[in-house]
Amino acid sequence: MQIGPFHLRNNLVLAPMAGVTDRPFRQLCRRLGAGMAVSEMTTSQPHLWDSAKTRRRRDHCGEADPISVQIAGADPAMMAAAARQNVEHGAQIIDINMGCPAKKVCNVMAGSALLRDEDLVGRILDAVVSAVEVPVTLKIRTGWDPDNRNALAIARRAEQAGIRALSVHGRTRACGFAGTAEYETIAAVKAQAGIPVIANGDISTPEQARHVLAVTGADGVMIGRAAQGRPWIFRDVEHYLRTGIHPAPFSFAQIGAVLTEHLEHLYSFYGERTGVRVARKHVGWYLKAADAPQAGVLRGRINELESGSAQLREVARHFAWLDAEAAKSDAIGEALAA
């Protein structure tokens, strides 16, 4: 898939998720198969540009090209300034957030709330595209609510403005993440579009990725929540789309190794104190994704620990036990089969 001058290794994109797609997670997903990883949304409010959170979000040290940074806001001039500022700090693609359904974002008329005002959408797109020389992409939902699906109109306006790729989540803003994603609107957008269209929503398995590509005709898929605790989903999907078969699943030992790598990067990136706290939710996601026995036990221990070294020791101990138990189970199964 091509976005501006960037030829991606595949058509699999990590979705931007606030509090999740920080630099350590983006780098891990890229290493495990994602063709592109979009940053957490960064604010267009100038008075927040020098906050510790914003400084971390524009830290792209060591990231592979292309570096895609999402910006959010409702003022065209501020959005243009934010785009320029992020390009100065290394962004190679600017992504505009018009898809976030969170109330705190929509209450200030940003994110998917913008879909209610197509004129303002157009002015923001024009301002940002004119402000930078790098490709600008856009993420939207199918509309404001099920009675007001205007993704087709927004997509036409985006292409007119010079947007280089469009990601569409198959729900309206009113739907949040409830119910199931609908792909008919994405298919209609792709049918009229002259730019790459990336389908998003409820893509949690290789089979679902193949299905969504087939029914929408989209150029790629964007995976968000399904990558939490399972960054190797991109490896799995890439292999399945290429071969039609699943790769060998990760063992508990391999999952433990990926989690350990992730935690070490979190401590380095945030500093130990903050990194230990950020790590807690990730450990829970890994355990849930792995369907690991005694997951609640490890979560409880991790949440009580205050040092990175203690968390790493506990993760190593627990995953070594999980791997040993799995080996015993396999040995019993083989003996019974014989």
* Residues 199, 178: Cα–Cα separation, whole Å: 17
Q: Are strands 197-200 and 136-141 parallel, antiparallel or unpaired?
A: unpaired
Sign of CA dihedral 227, 233, 234, 235: positive
Could you check whether the bond before residue 66 is cis, i.e. omega within 30 degrees of 0? yes
Question: How distant, in Å, are the alpha carbons of 11, 118, 135, 250, 254 from that of 131?
Answer: 27, 20, 11, 45, 45
Find out whether 322 and 252 touch, Cβ atoms under 8 Å.
yes
Active site residue 106: no
By the 8 A CB rule, do 259 and 290 touch?
Answer: no
DSSP string, 232-284: THHHHHHHHHHHSSPPPPPPHHHHHHHHHHHHHHHHHHH-HHHHHHHHHHHHH
The answer to whether 91 and 62 have CB atoms below 8 angstroms apart is no
- CB distance 61 to 306 below 8 Å: no
Task: Choose the catalytic residue: 29, 100, 106, 175.
Answer: 100
Q: Which residues contact 138 (CB under 8 A, 6 or more apart)?
A: 95, 96, 98, 125, 158, 163, 165, 166, 167
Find, among 13, 66, 29, 9, the residue nearest to 209 by Cα: 13
Token pair of 232 as six digits: 């190797």
Catalytic residue IDs: 100
